[in-house]
Structure 1
Amino acid sequence: MSLFRVLLLGLLLLVGAISVTSASLYLRGSQQFLSQQLAVYSQDTATSLGLSLAPVLRQHDWVLAESMLDSIFDQGDYALIRLTSLDGAQELLRQRTTGAVAADGWFERLLPLRAPVVSSQINSQWQLVATVEVQASAASSQQLLWQTGRQALLVTLFIAIIAIVVASWLLTRVLKPLALAEQQANGLRRHHYIRQEQIPSIREMASLVRTMNLMVDNSEAMVKQQVVRMERLRRQTLVDDDTGLGNLSRYQQRVGQALKDREHQGGTLLKLHLTGIDRIELQHGSGSSKTLLQQVAATLTKFALQLPLGRLYRTGFAEFTLLFPGLQLSQLSAEEMALRGELSSLVHQAGADRVLLAACEYHLNDQPNEVEQQLELLLSEAIALPDSSVFKGSASATEEVPLAQQQQLLQRLLNTAPSLLVQSVENANNHVLHREILTRFNDGEQHYNPGPVMAMAARQQSYRQLDLLVLNTLKSELGNGVEGSLSCNLTAESVLDPQLPAMLQRILDGYWQQLLLEIPERALLLDADATVRFIERMALLGARIWLDHTTPAGMVLMSQHGLEGIKLDPGYTRALLTDGSHSDLIEMMIAAAHSRGISVVAQQVEEPELANALWQLGIDGVQGFAVAKPVPLNE
């Protein structure tokens, strides 16, 4: 209930009490006055009647006396007239036992009027001859009291209504600054800034208004500073305005990181070039070309999310480049035909000409300019071809597994326990926070990095079997007495599998406090609702959940119950080594996580200076060759 309503209710009760008290006192006073008037009237009538009857009774003419009594009684003003001789032999009695109802029964019971019976002696020649008794009728007085009371009640009610209306208006005026202050407080939550221009004359209200205006000014200034900072951070994150994808500079940073990625040790780059976009813009305006580019970006994003760790960038006006760490070209070639068909349909409907795709593999420690030159050469060869949809690819000279044999290879990998390595996560004091499991798969003859194996699992929809293989192997090692907290990665598709939590409960029950489960941010991008449900279900089981490869897009989970920590995407942290970009963004992400009790770790940190820079920003832990190399789990 609002303060206005509370005060108005109190006012109503006060006015009501005053009105009832005033009306009651007025009616009681009127009742006493009328009762006294009835007694006086009865006494005057008895006296005058005694004087009138004295000559008649001197003659002992009781008949005339009776006639005089009747004429007076019939006027209706009396309830009783009794004339009695001195010796009691003669008596004349006129009395009304009932009379007309003068007022409502409840009113007459509440404020009754009763006239007293008064008597007067009748003398004849100084001798007492008779006694006359008179009682005036209270009916007319009762009616008068009823009418007077009703009018008094109406007047009191009218005055009370006027008083309430005036008081309500005054309360509204007095409390208006308080109501505006409430609007200001509600507006602050919606980033809507309201100021009170008029300062009230009441000292307390004036102080409140000045304080709220100052709070609004400070809040707006802080938000403006944040807007400026976020705009600066947006530019630093190198996002393309038209599509929301990373731009060329962001792509170059990510490729530089991928070429030094020891975990995947290579991958595939896929470049898309569209021709005829400039003609669409000339004929139909920039809006049409922008719409087409957004549709192409959405199609490519969907394609990238279907493969492990796929990332998409807009690297030119009509160019997009996809990065697939750990993926071989042969694994990508099997999917590109469907992609070209979908893109060709979009492009031709919009009025553009051709869809050209060029792909090449890269390897650990390759030079970025050499990889880019290879891509450009392949794209030039594709442009020279007359077809409207072209794909040119260049695989490495190393022997690749034919597609026909990949299924058999994956089955051998799934039937063989992988080798488990661990890499420590350390804080600034060189204290180990936990160790992450790094998996090396083998088929009995050679080892495979996770990237190619995950790509094969993607083709054959074997994500869950892959994760369960690693977890069962880890469980057997934990049973052999491995100590300390360990973190293990899950694939995005497994996280979205509604049957996985029950399987994890059967496998890992009893190890929840020792084991951290890392889920990729890619799961959030694929299905946010299913990812949240997984975190909630695992939290109920007692699992410790971390979000892996976290970018600003993953910060929406910071308020999610059950999330213990995040691992920042290396593409953001490595930029600190070059020009210091992303410093503010990383600091903001760390602060946002810490404000919700969530730990933050940076991964793939290979340079000591980068580790020091991250610790200065307040990060909790660092993982990478800068602090510790991977070692076998049982060492």
Structure 2
Amino acid sequence: MSLSKQLYIIIAFIFLVIFTGNFIISVQNAKEYLEVEASTKAQDTATSLGMSLKGLMKNKNDAEIQSIINAIANRGFYKEIRLEDTLFTINKSQLIKHANNKTLDNNWQISDVSVDKSFGTIESNSDDLELMQELEALENNQEFNFEPKQSSTYKFIPNKNLQKKNIKISFKATKEDKTINSFAIIYMDKTIAKVTRDEKFDYVPQWFINAISIDLKEMKSDISNGWKTTATIYVSANAGDAYAKLYEQAKGSLIYSALAFIISMILLFIFVQYLLKPLKTIEKLAQSIAIGNFKTIDKLPWTTEIKNVAISMNEMSRKIESVISKLNKNLENLTQKLSKDELTGLNLKQTFETDMKKMFISKSNGYIFTIKIDKLGEFANQHTNEEVNKFIKKFASILKECKACKGINISAYRFYGSEFALITDGINYEQAQELTATIKREFENLAKEIGKDEIAHIGATPFNPIGTTDQMLHAANEAYEKAKLIGPNEAFIRDSDDLVRDMKAWRTLVFDIIKNQRFEISYIGDAKVLNSQNNELVMQEAFTKAYDLDNKDIPIGTFVSIAEQYEKIVDFDKAVISKVISDIRLENIKHSISINLSLDSIDDLNFILWLRETLNKHKDIASQLVFSLTAYAVTKDIEKFKNFVTIIHELNAKVIIKRFESKFIPLDDIKNLDLDYIRLAREYTNNVKDDSSKQSFIEAMVELTHLLNIKLFAENVKDEKDFEKIKELNVYAASR
């Protein structure tokens, strides 16, 4: 998860915690305030009503009482307004009338009137009369003498929670000498007046009401007549109004908080983007360094910590670039040393073989020359080493100077001792004759200078695009032998009629092999990880074998060259890839397989589309496919190769450059190719045990590829000591 997302999440979480806490506290405070406000208003209303109704309590059935209560209730603020009687007057006639004994009449005297204490209490009016008379006597400083009289009226004071309306009142009835215990059931309704209204919550949702409970207490006010409470007025506030106000406040808080959150997140996004922009620049720099582009950050960030990181990254980039530049320089020097003859400065045989491969790939035409100094051994026996070396240098300079011939591209080589060679690119038979005549004249001049009659003989053969390097060297040697028969310092040039096969026959054969897929694929070059305990097999190469009509092997270089010439190479590469994918599945291959591709194929749009579709169908094994091109093929169009590498990596496959030589690909360019593997040319590992220059070159390549996250392979290491040496030099893997 990115740092920006983590910041957004943690800040949003903190905001949510703070908002939730504030919201709960705000709603709770508002709820408590509304409860107090409603209760206070209800209490004030109850007190006011009590004062208003006090004068009407003489007649509790007065219609004006109900009118006053209705007027207050109609305001809608109250859930219920209720006036309850707290003092009932019962007379003798009522008791006799409702007595259970119907024989009683007004001639009977009533006494010992009582009621169940759960209902309330009954007092005689004579008690009040006695109290008033006692107070009056005290006021007048008179002696109080009270003569009790039989009371005919009684006061019933109900309990507060009395709900029952039919009250049983017990009493004794006396007439003359007869006394009867009796009781009367008298209907008494505490409620004098009552107005109730539904609680209306209007637009307040039910979930809000269920979530928040508002407790509005019922308020009351007592109405007194003297020192006695005759009635009580009860007022209950309507919770709907409180819920409406609370809901509006909560909704407003939510809307405000949501807007505040959105605005805060927008500001945070802008701030974080501004804050993290330098980090993204640093990340891009790190990625750039990882692929070998050693850039620096010019505009340093203003945040101290990030600025220090940027400065450190710049220093690291410069140091790594300096190290790689030093390695590149060392490699270039070593390459020159490995590819040049120390005495003459001419290219060595390994360079000749590489340049011949270039000729095959580029479908060139020209001539191959073999030139040998005659009787160099005898000359060496008769002269000092210095004189011999001087002679060889002069001889080599003649070949070098031929490179200056106008319009002719010539490369000169010294194989060993007295054997030299030339490759001429793009010349015809007449130009080859003219070049040979020029060289012969220079040899004759050298012969006069050193007093040696026979300097050298020259044999030449035309470049055969369907042949092999060995075949052409053999043909040039045959021409050299014919030149020796002609005379001193003579030359013989074979013409194009000496080609073994005619192109028409080759074309028919190649077309038939590709169309009917008459080829076999074997997996060779088991590349195993060096310096590991399990000796893991990491890669094999898919090697194609094709046969002619006589069932003889066709040199694969010849086959590919003709297929390219007649634009059949793309079909061939498709067939090979399909066969390799099938083999991986059928044989359950777990390691990587390298597949050789032609430059024509990676430059073909239809091939790229086909390859993308094929690898998408086989995503599970795409990572096992390693597409291989030679170093020289890559140099023909580096930009197209880079595009191909990008596509291959998108498809989760890999790329290797084989037969790598630093003279083909500048070492500074390796970092821009985004390679997965590099396989060194065999010349760098042959006899590496005794060649310090090769060891230094390989060591430098190991360091370079390690810095660029590329795995370095060695190919076909035969000698055991050579193998131990490349293992010691920390090459990643090698085949034998």
TM-score by length of 1: 0.49
Scaled by the length of structure 2, the TM-score of the pair is 0.43
Larger radius of gyration: 2
Bigger RCO of structures 1 and 2 (CA < 8 A, at least 6 apart): 2
